Structures are given as structure tokens and as C-alpha cells.
């Protein structure tokens, strides 16, 4: 009764969860292009796209991907054999165990008229599949907790997935072990199936089961003489053998039963088998009910993502379907960490300590963003920085075993976030090259907005030098900045500057303007001079810092060996650090 | 002669022909290129934002290459300049070296400074040599005028770059001319292509590029020739935008040096990815003469 009720409750939660999750693929949107498409249009576009794909030659592409990437998981195999072995063990072990054992009343009994869980081959296969899962779980634990791959992060969700699987498997094996030894179970069975037996027959049967079937009896103990066993075997063959293969075939459970043997009587007396049975099926039901909300949801979503990405392409597919696919992709990530381990800027995480730099960690953040969760300003800043700290090299997309087009996802969310109005200083780095090359996805009149915002935040007065009142006297603003520059091995050469203007004359940016001071604020030699005088506000108000190409003409020409370009780089770092601390102060006050 | 090849982050997205042509040319010249999949960003784009992040990224690549006991080869000036800069820091500055190595130790890496960062032009000129390459040339260009564009970080700062004389270089010109092409003189030859500001200040970036292109064109060039990913993106993809945005008709296509050399070495245009260039360079094959024909 309790079993049935909990089964239906968990099935109900699972079903509702599934609906809720699938509906979110159509309700939410990622990126600017998807904003104007309604959920209804998205559902319609999906159905149309599905029909057009199925009734076209692309169905063969789908079949191929299904066999190679979904069934054989060649993408994982190419990257890492150990990971592939782990996944195959769990994937096929669980699938087969679920069909044969979990759904035995529906599947096994329908397929095999002679199905009994306690006879071979089923008895053996149950343990065989189970051991595969346990091997898989062991590899997972080894990879996550012992191998310590740099930047492979383990989230509570990963721990949950390992724990729930481990609980199901271990409780299952222990249940089998305690049932093998259980005297109570033995007596129940005897009462039910040996109606006409006399006391002597029962004694020999019990002796036989103790000797051959692992039962631990409080009454009879071996060794038994051959006569008793022969008689026991006779009774056994009459009543039991049809439904019971030797328990040794259930090798894992049998091994466990030999280990617990000394405590078997006690365990049986306090009814541990029934406790284990509750743990076993409740863990299964919890896993089922929570599945749509856990990483195990990838059982459904990852194959869908692989299939969808095989037949979809930006520019060719309906943008409404791309939007839907991107939401599906967020659920298809199983947090395997391949992208983060292989990310070309992953190592930067070690310097900036922002987990959102790592692709696998961006996914939960982006999920929170699209679901409209309330995030703090600092959280949004970290997500934004993580999204921008990307060279757009596509490696994450190429290596993702779920086939998620991660790079496209980052680009879309990045642009949407930039519109929200938090300054992002990374737009002032050459990482913006990619953004500049993608005008078709950018509305041109908005393109410079984030750059202007970042500059305004950096300018101490909020405006560039050329717009400032030049009549204010220049006062050095001392705040410890000069000492940073003085002690920096790269930059301390600025004090050698005798203002010969050679650097400025060599600068192609200065040369580009008829009146350069009107465009760039301080000129290179003035910046070197201002640094010597500690006029930091003047320097940080100069657009020159951000218009510097880093071409090193200034530095090459300097007769005083001032490392002009290196100093400018260092000043950029300082300006950003200063602007960032100013932002944090503003938020706190 | 083997190298670890650092493939620039930009090449797989928009510049695959650079990878193809480099592979083909190096194979022809008997240079082995080893791909180390763990290699990451060269660190260049990070320098504006965080000195430490940029040093760490570069040093990690150097450490990975050192692990293979091979020099680290790049086809990009910005990667090269960054690698030389950080290599020097790691060799000279003990505090930075210790800090970086202690972080790299987390992934079992360490940079001792036993290898060098190399640029493809350096390997071609200094290691293989003009004469050795000439021996493999099977076709030469006739009447082709090339504006050779050195780019910045292969020359400057010269103390680190150590490729050629910073104010009057000639090595790249010689490499261009061994294909039979003429490397013309032009006044903007040593200036920056404008790419570092693309995406940040597009107008300024376009100004600088337009100026250069005009200068090279007026000096009689048929093509530009570059050996840097960023320069090529600027002179090819951004030039395409420049032409349409500013209504300029006179274009000046840019060819990657391995494409130019590859044609001379007898490699076919498809392998070199000639058709991938946005501002078409397919007509360059018209200038080709077969060696036998030209000497006969």
C-alpha cells in the first residue's frame, strides 16, 4: 500500500516536473533575437521544424548521431577513455537493471514466461548489471575526488547524483545479502510452499539451505552428514528448486551475505531486510521524483541536444527554434566539466578567482539569469565578467559531449546583459574583436554603449579630460598608486622621462588626429610626465590609455629607455582596479 | 626540426586557411608541428585587464611546451610579443616566476625557461634559411608587387623580439622575394595594422587601416602580405567592412605568407585555403610562372 502510494506520488511529481521543465524551453528566452518571439510561436515553429526534419534526408543524420553519439557516446570516447568507461557502465548498467529488475512486472514477465528474479539467468544478471553501475560510480568518485583534475569542479548536484545512485545500489545489494541469510524469510517460504512436509523433512531441508543456500539458522548448524544433505536435497527438489538457483550466482549479494554472516541472526531479528527494502525503493522513488530537477535530467535532454545540434545551424534554422534549443541546452548540461578543463582561458580562473570564467560554471548562472532569479549586483558582475572573459575560440562547443553550442550561448547572453547597464571593463580589451566582427547580431547604434559606459566609469570625474574644466588647478591625488607604479619592475622606468616628445611623435594614434588632445586627452609623453607628478586623475581621464594599440613604437623610439607601452598597460590595469573598487564602494554605501 | 605549435584562438573561427597553409608549408619544408591540446590563450587579450592573468596564461603555454622539450611556435605577432615578454619576465624576475610556478604546480606544470618562443618568420629565415627554401621553390611569381607588412610585435620592442633591425628590417622582404615577387617600399610599412582597437574603437581602427591600405596601394602594391592572425583579420575581414562602410572602391587584398610561399612551393590553392579569404586573392595565381618555363 505504502509502496503503491509513494510510487504514484513520485510518478506524479516526475510527470509534473517534466512538463514544467519542457514548458520552460518555450517560456524563457536567451539572447536578443529571441525576445520578440512568443511561446506559442515557438511551439508552432518547433512542431513545424520537427516535421520538416523527420520527413527529409536529415532523418539519416539523426539516426547516425543517435547511434554514434547517443548509444555509443563516441564524443566522450575520443576525449577520455576513463570517462567513457564510467559513463557506459552506469548508463547501460542502469538501463538494463531498470528494464529487467525495476520494471520486471512490465518488461521481464512479458518477455520471458519463465521469469523469476531468483532463478538464472536473471539472478546472475541482476548482480552483473548492478556491479557495472558500482564500477561506474567508483570511477566517478575517483575522477571527482581523487584524481583532482585542475578546474574540474564538483557541485552539490554532482555529489547528489553519485549519492542517490550509490544508495540505490548498495541498499539493493545489502537487501539481497540479508535476504539470503534471513531465517525469517526462509520460514515464510517454507510455510507457504511445503504444506505436507513432516518435521524431519523440514529439518533436512533447513540443513540443506544452511549448507548450500547461505541461510543462517538459529537452530541447525553445520557441518552436516551426507545423509541429511541428501534428504534435504530431495525436499528441496520437490518444493524449492523451480524458483531458486544457487544464490552464489548473485555473486555480489552472496559475497556481502558471507561478510555479514556473523551478525546475520541479529540483523534478521530486528528486521533489517525490510528496512533495506524501504530504503531501496524510497531512494528509487526520490531519484525518480527529483529527476527532472536534478542533473539526471540529462538522460533525456543530452540526447535531444545532440540530435537538435546535428540538424540545426545558426542562420539556416528558424531563430524561434534556435531560441528553444538554447533553453534545452541549458538543461542538457550534465556538468561533466570537459569544457572547463579544456577552456583556453580556464587558467585565468586561478588569477581572478571568478568561477563564472569556467564554461561549466557559467551554465547554472545563465540558467538563473534566464529564469529571472533575483541576483545581487556582485553576482551579475561576476557572471558578466565570466561571459566576457572568452576568446570565442569555440573549443568548449567542439568538446562538449552533449553537443551544446556553448559559444553561441555565451555570445547571446553577453549581449543581453550588456544592455542591463552594468559596466564591463573587458569590452576595453582585444577580446572585443569578436564582438566587433559580429555586426549582424548587434544593432549598430547600440554597439558603442557598453564601451562608453566602461570609460565613463573609469574616468574619475565621469567625463574625459577634453570635456573637463581646464582652469581647475592640478593637484596630485595621492592614494598609493604611485608606489605601485614605482615598485613595478615593468613600469618604474617612467621616471627617466625627460619629455623629449619622441614617444608622442612616434605614436600612430596621435598622428591620426589633427588635434590629438581633443580626442585622446593626455599624449603619451604627458602621461609619463603626469605619472612622475602623481596626477592620477589626469591620467585616468585620458582616453589615450584605451586608444593605445600596444604597437610599441613609443617604447622602441624612446632615447631614455622608458618602457612607455609597458607603463601604459600597467596604467590600464590600475585604472580598472580603481574603477572597480569605486563601484564596490558605491554599492556598499 | 620540431616545434609545439600554438594555434591562435582566432584561427579556428575566422582564419582556418592560416592553419591549413602553415601545416602544408611546414610539412613541405620538413618541419614537424606538434599539437598539444592543453595549450590555451596566449594571454595577449588579457593584458589590458589583468597583468597577472595574462602572465599566467602565457607561462602555462610555455610550461606545456617545455614539458615536450620543444620551442613554442606561433603564427601570430601578438602571441609572439606576449610570449617573448612573459618568457623574459619568467627568466629575469624571480618573484613573478615563483608566484606563477606555484599556481601552475596545481596542474603539475612548471616553467624553468629552458625553451624559446618562436615566430614562423623566424623559423623560416633563421632556422631553415632563404637558400634552403629557394631550393624547394618550383614556381615563381612574375611581376607581382607585394606590400610586406611586418606588424608590431615581431619587431618591437626589439630587445625582446630579436628578429630584425627594428627601424629598417629586411628579413620578411627577403622571404617574400624568394617567391619571385617584388617587395615594394612604402612609408607605412612598419606601422600597426589597427587591429588591437577593433571592437573597442572601431572608427580609429578603421582610420589606421584605411591609411595603411591607401599608402600601400599608392606605392604600387598588388597585394599585402602578412604573417600574423590579427593583421590578417584586420586586412581581410575588417577591410571588407571598411570598403562597404566608407564606400571605398579600391581594395587591396591581403595574403598570408604561408599561402604565398605555399603557391611557390607548388602546393595547390585549395590546400592553402585561398578561397577562404574574404577580399579575394584568387587572382594571385595569374602571376605564377613555372620555374622550368621561366628559366627556359
Q: What is the full DSSP assignment across B250-282? A: ----EEEHHHHHHHHTT--TTTTTGGG-SS--G
The average pLDDT across B157-165 equals: 96
The closest of B273, B260, B240 to B18, measured between CA atoms, is B273
pLDDT, one tens digit per residue, over A475-529 is 777 666 666 676 666 677 888 899 899 999 999 999 999 999 999 999 999 999 9
Comparing A202-206, A425-429, A543-547, A552-556, the range with the smallest average pLDDT is A202-206
Q: How far is residue A22's CA from residue B49's CA, in Å, rounded to a whole number?
A: 40
Topology classification of domain B2-120: Glutathione S-transferase Yfyf (Class Pi); Chain A, domain 2 (1.20.1050)
Interface with A, mutate which of B13, B79, B199, B237 (most A CBs under 10 A): B199
pLDDT at B27: 97
Q: Do residues A477 and A407 both lie within one domain? A: no
End-of-domain residue from the set A275, A293, A311:
A293
- The grid cell for B53 is 592573468
Partners of residue B72 on adjacent β-strands: B4, B117
Whether A567 is in a domain gets the answer: yes
End-of-domain residue from the set A241, A260, A293:
A293
pLDDT, one tens digit per residue, over A264-317 is 999 999 999 999 999 999 999 999 999 999 999 999 999 999 999 999 887 788
Q: Do residues A478 and A584 both lie within one domain? A: yes
Contact A345 B41 (CB under 8 A): yes
Whether A553 is in a domain gets the answer: yes
Structural domain tally of chain A? 3
Whether A321 is in a domain gets the answer: no
Contact A351 B50 (CB under 8 A): yes
* Chain A CA closest to residue B47: A569
Q: Do residues A487 and A506 both lie within one domain? A: yes
pLDDT of A384 above 50: yes
Q: Do residues A259 and A351 both lie within one domain? A: no
Q: Do residues A171 and A264 both lie within one domain? A: yes
Contact B157 A572 (CB under 8 A): no
pLDDT, one tens digit per residue, over A60-84 is 999 999 999 999 999 999 989 999 9
B48 contacts in chain A (CB < 8 Å): 428-430, 569, 572-573, 576
Say if residue A189 is exposed, middle or buried (CB neighbours under 10 Å; 0-12, 13-18, 19+).
middle
Contact B199 A546 (CB under 8 A): no
DSSP secondary structure code for residue A70 in this structure: I
pTM of the model: 0.91
CA distance B204 to chain A (A): 8
Chain B residues 111-150 with a CB less than 8 Å from chain A: none
Domain spanning B130-295 has what CATH number? 3.40.50.11810
B50 contacts in chain A (CB < 8 Å): 348, 351-352, 573
Whether A216 is in a domain gets the answer: yes
Q: How far is residue B234's CA from residue A438's CA, in Å, rounded to a whole number?
A: 14
CA distance A248 to chain B (A): 45
Query: Cβ distance B293 to B141 under 8 Å?
Result: no
The closest of A180, A166, A183 to A253, measured between CA atoms, is A180
CA distance B22 to chain A (A): 18
Rg (CA), chain A: 34
- The grid cell for B203 is 572608427
Give, in degrees to the nearest 5, the angle at Cα A434 between A314 and A416: 65
End-of-domain residue from the set A457, A472, A490:
A457
Provide the H-helix boundaries in A343-480. Answer: 349-352, 359-370, 377-388, 395-399, 406-418, 432-437, 449-458
* Chain A CA closest to residue B157: A556
B195–chain A Cβ distance below 8 A for any pair: yes
Whether A420 is in a domain gets the answer: yes
Q: Domain of A492: which CATH number? A: 1.10.1060
Confidence label for A442 from pLDDT (cuts 50, 70 and 90): low
Q: Do residues A473 and A426 both lie within one domain? A: no
**Domain range list for chain B:** 2-120, 130-295
CA distance A450 to chain B (A): 10
Q: Do residues A412 and A505 both lie within one domain? A: no
Query: Cβ distance B57 to B103 under 8 Å?
Result: no
Query: What percentage of chain B has pLDDT greater than the value 70?
Result: 98
pLDDT, one tens digit per residue, over B274-288 is 999 999 999 999 999
Whether A209 is in a domain gets the answer: yes
Contact A391 B51 (CB under 8 A): no
Q: Do residues A466 and A453 both lie within one domain? A: no
CA distance B74 to chain A (A): 16
Q: Do residues A576 and A475 both lie within one domain? A: yes
Q: Crossing angle for the helix pair A122-141 and A251-259, nearest 10 degrees?
A: 70
B209–chain A Cβ distance below 8 A for any pair: no
Dihedral sign for Cα B153, B157, B159, B164, please. Answer: positive
pLDDT of A118 above 80: yes
Q: Do residues A212 and A186 both lie within one domain? A: yes
pLDDT at A200: 87
pLDDT, one tens digit per residue, over B187-216 is 999 999 999 999 999 999 999 999 999 999
pLDDT at B296: 42
| Domain region containing A474 | 459-588
Amino acid at each position: 500500500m505504502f509502496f503503491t502510494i509513494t510510487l504514484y506520488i513520485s510518478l506524479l511529481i516526475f510527470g509534473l516536473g517534466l512538463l514544467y521543465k519542457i514548458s520552460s524551453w518555450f517560456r524563457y528566452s536567451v539572447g536578443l533575437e529571441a525576445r520578440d518571439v512568443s511561446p506559442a510561436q515557438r511551439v508552432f515553429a518547433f512542431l513545424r521544424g520537427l516535421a520538416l526534419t523527420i520527413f527529409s534526408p536529415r532523418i539519416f543524420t539523426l539516426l547516425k548521431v543517435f547511434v554514434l553519439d547517443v548509444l555509443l557516446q563516441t564524443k566522450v570516447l575520443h576525449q577520455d577513455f576513463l570517462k567513457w568507461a564510467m559513463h557506459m557502465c552506469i548508463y547501460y548498467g542502469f538501463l538494463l537493471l531498470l528494464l529487467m529488475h525495476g520494471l520486471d512486472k512490465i518488461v521481464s514477465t512479458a518477455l520471458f514466461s519463465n521469469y523469476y528474479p531468483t532463478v538464472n539467468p536473471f539472478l546472475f544478471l541482476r548482480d552483473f548489471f548492478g556491479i557495472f553501475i558500482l564500477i561506474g560510480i567508483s570511477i566517478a568518485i575517483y575522477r571527482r575526488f581523487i584524481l583532482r583534475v585542475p578546474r574540474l569542479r564538483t557541485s552539490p548536484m554532482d555529489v547528489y547524483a553519485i549519492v542517490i545512485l550509490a544508495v540505490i545500489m548498495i541498499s539493493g545489494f545489502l537487501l539481497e545479502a540479508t535476504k539470503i541469510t534471513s531465517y525469517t524469510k526462509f520460514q515464510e517460504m517454507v510455510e507457504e510452499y511445503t504444506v505436507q512436509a513432516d518435521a524431519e523433512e523440514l529439518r533436512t531441508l533447513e540443513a540443506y539451505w544452511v549448507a548450500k543456500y547461505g541461510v543462517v539458522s538459529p537452530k541447525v548448524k553445520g557441518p552436516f552428514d551426507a545423509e541429511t544433505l541428501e534428504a534435504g536435497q530431495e525436499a528441496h527438489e520437490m518444493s524449492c528448486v523451480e524458483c531458486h538457483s544457487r544464490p552464489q550466482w548473485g555473486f555480489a549479494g552472496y559475497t556481502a551475505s558471507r561478510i555479514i554472516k556473523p551478525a546475520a541472526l541479529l540483523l534478521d531479528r530486528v528486521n533489517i531486510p525490510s528496512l533495506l527494502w524501504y530504503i531501496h525503493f524510497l531512494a528509487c522513488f526520490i531519484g525518480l521524483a527529483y529527476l527532472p530537477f536534478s542533473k539526471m535530467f540529462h538522460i533525456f535532454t543530452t540526447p535531444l541536444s545532440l540530435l537538435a545540434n546535428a540538424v540545426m545551424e545558426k542562420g539556416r534554422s528558424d531563430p524561434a527554434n534556435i531560441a528553444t534549443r538554447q533553453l534545452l541546452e541549458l538543461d542538457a548540461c550534465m556538468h561533466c566539466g570537459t569544457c572547463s578543463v579544456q577552456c583556453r582561458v580556464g587558467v585565468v580562473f586561478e588569477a581572478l578567482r571568478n568561477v563564472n570564467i569556467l564554461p561549466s560554471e557559467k551554465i547554472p548562472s545563465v540558467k538563473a539569469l534566464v529564469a529571472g532569479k533575483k541576483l545581487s549586483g556582485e553576482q551579475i558582475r561576476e557572471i558578466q565578467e565570466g561571459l566576457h572573459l572568452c576568446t570565442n575560440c569555440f573549443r568548449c562547443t567542439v568538446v562538449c559531449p552533449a553537443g551544446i553550442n556553448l559559444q553561441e550561448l555565451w555570445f547571446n547572453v553577453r549581449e543581453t546583459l550588456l544592455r542591463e547597464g552594468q559596466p564591463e571593463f573587458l569590452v576595453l580589451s582585444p577580446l572585443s574583436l569578436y564582438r566587433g566582427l559580429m555586426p549582424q547580431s548587434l544593432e549598430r547604434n547600440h554597439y558603442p554603449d557598453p564601451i562608453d559606459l566602461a570609460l565613463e566609469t573609469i574616468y574619475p570625474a565621469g567625463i574625459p579630460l577634453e570635456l573637463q574644466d581646464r582652469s581647475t588647478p592640478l593637484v596630485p591625488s595621492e592614494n598609493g598608486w604611485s608606489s605601485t607604479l614605482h615598485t613595478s619592475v615593468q613600469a618604474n622606468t617612467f621616471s627617466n622621462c625627460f619629455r623629449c616628445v619622441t614617444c608622442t611623435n612616434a605614436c600612430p594614434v596621435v598622428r591620426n588626429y589633427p588635434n590629438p588632445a581633443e580626442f585622446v586627452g593626455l599624449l603619451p609623453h604627458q602621461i609619463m610626465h603626469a605619472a612622475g607628478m602623481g596626477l592620477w586623475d589626469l591620467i585616468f581621464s585620458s582616453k589615450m590609455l584605451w586608444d593605445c594599440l600596444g604597437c610599441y613604437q613609443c617604447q622602441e623610439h624612446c632615447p631614455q629607455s622608458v618602457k612607455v607601452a609597458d607603463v601604459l598597460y600597467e596604467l590600464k590595469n590600475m585604472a580598472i582596479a580603481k574603477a572597480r573598487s569605486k563601484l564596490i564602494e558605491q554599492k556598499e554605501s | 626540426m620540431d616545434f609545439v605549435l600554438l594555434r591562435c584562438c582566432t584561427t579556428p573561427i575566422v582564419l582556418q586557411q592560416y592553419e591549413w597553409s602553415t601545416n602544408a608549408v611546414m610539412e613541405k619544408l620538413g618541419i614537424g608541428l606538434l599539437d598539444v591540446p592543453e595549450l590555451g590563450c596566449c594571454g595577449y587579450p588579457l593584458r589590458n585587464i589583468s597583468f597577472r592573468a595574462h602572465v599566467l596564461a602565457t607561462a602555462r603555454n610555455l610550461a606545456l611546451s617545455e614539458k615536450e622539450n620543444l620551442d613554442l611556435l606561433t603564427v601570430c605577432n601578438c602571441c609572439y610579443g606576449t610570449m617573448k615578454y612573459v618568457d623574459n619576465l619568467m627568466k629575469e624576475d624571480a618573484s613573478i616566476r615563483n608566484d606563477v610556478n606555484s599556481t601552475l604546480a596545481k596542474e603539475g606544470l612548471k616553467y624553468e625557461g629552458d625553451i624559446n618562443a618562436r615566430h614562423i618568420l623566424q623559423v623560416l629565415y633563421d632556422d631553415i634559411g632563404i637558400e634552403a627554401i629557394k631550393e624547394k621553390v618550383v614556381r615563381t611569381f612574375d611581376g607581382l608587387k607585394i606590400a610586406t607588412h611586418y606588424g608590431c610585435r615581431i619587431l618591437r620592442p626589439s630587445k625582446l623580439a630579436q628578429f630584425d633591425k627594428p627601424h629598417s628590417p629586411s628579413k620578411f622582404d627577403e622571404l617574400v622575394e624568394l617567391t619571385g615577387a617584388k617587395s615594394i617600399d612604402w612609408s607605412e610599412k612598419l606601422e600597426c595594422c589597427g587591429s588591437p582597437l577593433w571592437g573597442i574603437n572601431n572608427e580609429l581602427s578603421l582610420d589606421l587601416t584605411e591609411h595603411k591600405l591607401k599608402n600601400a596601394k599608392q606605392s604600387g602594391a598588388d597585394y599585402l602580405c602578412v604573417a600574423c592572425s590579427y593583421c590578417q583579420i584586420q586586412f581581410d575581414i575588417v577591410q571588407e567592412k571598411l570598403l562597404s562602410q566608407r564606400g571605398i572602391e579600391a581594395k587591396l587584398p591581403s595574403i598570408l605568407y604561408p599561402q604565398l610561399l605555399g603557391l611557390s612551393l607548388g602546393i595547390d590553392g585549395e590546400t592553402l585555403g585561398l578561397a577562404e579569404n574574404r577580399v579575394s586573392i584568387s587572382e594571385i595565381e595569374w602571376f605564377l610562372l613555372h620555374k622550368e618555363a621561366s628559366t627556359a
